[in-house]
Amino acid sequence: MKRCDWCIGNEIYEKYHDQEWGVPVYDDGIHFEFLVLESAQAGLNWLTVLKKRENYRSCYENFDVEKVANFSQGKIEELLQNPGIIRNRKKVEASVNNAKRFLEIQKEFGSFSGYIWSFVDHKPVINHWEKEEDVPATTAFSDALAKDMKKRGFKFVGSTILYAHMQATGLVNDHITECFRHQQVNGEKIEAFPPIVSKTSKVLILGSMPGVKSLGKQQYYGNPRNQFWKLLAKNFEIEEPEDYEEKINMIKKHELALWDVIKHCKRKGSLDTDIKEESVNELRDLLQNHGSIEKVFFNGGKAYELFKKHIGFEGFTQEFIKLPSSSPANTVSFEKKLQEWKKIKA
């Protein structure tokens, strides 16, 4: 799996790259957060700021723009004594000033998001850079944005800073073309994994489509908040494996198989409700070619509905069973999920 070179080798950088950088943002709160962080970065390494991000969230009232706009001089002095942030007076004072200007833009345009997206005609600029060195530090878009924001009284908003903001919040897609995220944030179709199946598999577990974190790791159920692996481990009364290879060995040892209903689709984020223009895997062929599979379990209602819609249940000898989703989006308690998932072992 290919990533942009700038993030490789650092876990914080890679997580930020895989999950946030370049994803279109339309939420004013997130835009304000990045304005504060990008301004704080001026002259520094972005990794330095990312390491302090949680401290900023705490000190800056979770980036509530109205609260920050009302920070008193005493609060500013307090912030300047906090080692958890960049203690630069001009940058801290600029953040409070910029919060006030941010509110003015919201009042004039209805939202800051609507304002900033107007500079790219309300649609992401999709670049196709083959090498990191081809990516510019500024463009005509960021030049125009910087000029306008400076006129409105913003500080620490040069073209370089604002182009970094545009990259981070998806107004431009500057992932190199070989990077796996280039297509994903571009809204092009994402592709699921090949099946994990053997000649002795007796049970097939079907999901809908891997989420962003799973695609980033290239691992089934790679989101640590997803309870899939924990549910299986509890089922078989073993410790949950930590290593992905060990997890796959657990699947094979207990004669399970894994796949997803969808092969390709468009989807913003990881929610099943956002799946569009899907095409499905050759599940009928897989089940016909692996006669040892006796039962098919659906990990959640979406996987079941997609199978029913695109493939149907006629002509199969296997038993089909719907389970509660292991996704963190499903708020059913773990204990209730486990009671249903015990059917896999029965």
What is the distance between the alpha carbons of residues 337 and 114, in angstroms, rounded to a whole number?
41
% helix / strand / coil in the chain, to the nearest 5? 50, 10, 40
| Residue 18, C-beta contacts closer than 8 angstroms, at least 6 positions apart | 3, 181, 212, 213, 216, 217
Kindly provide the residue ranges of all beta strands, DSSP E only, lying in the chain, ordered along the sequence: 125-126, 172-173, 190-191, 203-207, 256-260, 262-266, 276-280, 295-299, 319-323
Asked if 4 and 46 count as a contact pair (C-beta separation under 8 A), the reply is: no
> Can you read off the two tokens belonging to residue 345?
């072992």
What is the distance between the alpha carbons of residues 209 and 195, in angstroms, rounded to a whole number?
12
Greatest Cα-to-Cα distance within the chain, rounded to the nearest angstrom: 73
Just list the catalytic residues.
16, 38, 46
Asked if 292 and 202 count as a contact pair (C-beta separation under 8 A), the reply is: yes
CA dihedral over 177, 182, 186, 187, signed as positive or negative: positive
3-state SS, residue 265 = strand
CB atoms within 10 A of CB 47: 15
What is the distance between the alpha carbons of residues 99 and 71, in angstroms, rounded to a whole number?
10
Nearest C-alpha neighbor of 308 from the set 318, 298, 317: 298
Asked if 119 and 144 count as a contact pair (C-beta separation under 8 A), the reply is: yes
What is the distance between the alpha carbons of residues 51 and 41, in angstroms, rounded to a whole number?
11
CB atoms within 10 A of CB 1: 10
